[in-house]
Amino acid sequence: LAIIMPDTSPRGAGVQGEDKAYDFGTGAGFYIDATTPVFAPNYQMFTYVAKELPALVEAEFGVSHELRSVFGHSMGGHGALTLAFKEPEAWASVSAFAPICHPTASAWGQKAFQGYLGSAQAAVCAGHDATELMLAKGPFKSLGEILVDQGGADEFLAQGQLRPEDLQRACEAKGQPLLLQTRPGFDHSYYFVSSFVDEHVAFHKRALTKKAAARAAAAQA
């Protein structure tokens, strides 16, 4: 099992304004392809994570292009969910820690969309929003159950930045299996992720093993 951990944005691109805030620019590419003139030449994070990086890993290390899962934390959780929902057949499973579940309805998401896409309007950004993608295109049967862990003491949950309840309602409306686990006492930090990451790795291993077995059986039929 190979675990690939990409960066969260370009580094040292020299783009004007990219280092002014922690939640936009350097360190916060939001896993979308920017279209605004300032950011578009460098900030193509969806294409990088969904296309370029998998192709490189598969070419250099002999990893199967048919057996992939995706997970992430916070902004990375948003990225994992939207990658999987946009191309569900490309992924065996998806999970997330404290993801930004409904970015068109959160300040973080609106800031990123305005800066990278030139608009924070839902009509422009819904295709980059896990909750809106679930409502518009779900359910995603090939992904099976989605796993989301959320810290119960997460300060950003209280601020309305994460909105897992919105994703939960969308999954219920579309019949998409979702295991949303609230972890009492845990915040948004590294310690939250490190406490439960083994469960996520095991979750993806099961899904990948199941998909590999199905493909092997189909090849022998």
Alpha-carbon distance 217 to 210, whole Å?
11
User: For residue 41, what pLDDT is reported?
Assistant: 97
Instruction: Tell whether the model's pLDDT for residue 168 goes beyond 80.
Output: yes
Any idea which of 48-52, 144-148, 209-213, 216-220 has the lowest mean pLDDT? 216-220
User: For residue 95, what pLDDT is reported?
Assistant: 98
> pLDDT higher for 124 or 174?
174
- Say which of 69, 74, 93, 106 is annotated catalytic: 74
- The torsion region of residue 25 among left (phi > 0), alpha (psi -120 to 50) and beta comes to left
Alpha-carbon distance 198 to 192, whole Å?
12
Neighbours of 16 (CB within 10 A): 9
Active-site residue, 188 included = yes
From the list 191, 74, 94, 108, the residue with the least C-alpha distance to 139 is 94
- Say which of 78, 128, 188, 200 is annotated catalytic: 188
Sign, CA dihedral 79-82-83-89, equals positive
Stated pTM of the model:
0.95
- Say which of 33, 129, 149, 154 is annotated catalytic: 154
User: For residue 221, what pLDDT is reported?
Assistant: 75
Instruction: Tell whether the model's pLDDT for residue 220 goes beyond 90.
Output: no
Q: Which residues contact 156 (CB under 8 A, 6 or more apart)?
A: 74, 98, 162, 188
Average pLDDT over residues 168-182: 98
Active-site residue, 74 included = yes
The model's pLDDT over 61-115, given as tens digits with 9 standing for 90+, comes to 989 989 999 999 999 999 999 999 999 999 999 999 999 999 999 999 999 999 9
Alpha-carbon distance 23 to 32, whole Å?
14
Active-site residue, 154 included = yes
Tracing tokens 């569900």 back to the chain, one arrives at 88
The model's pLDDT over 129-152, given as tens digits with 9 standing for 90+, comes to 999 999 999 999 999 999 999 999
User: For residue 215, what pLDDT is reported?
Assistant: 87
DSSP designation for 145:
S
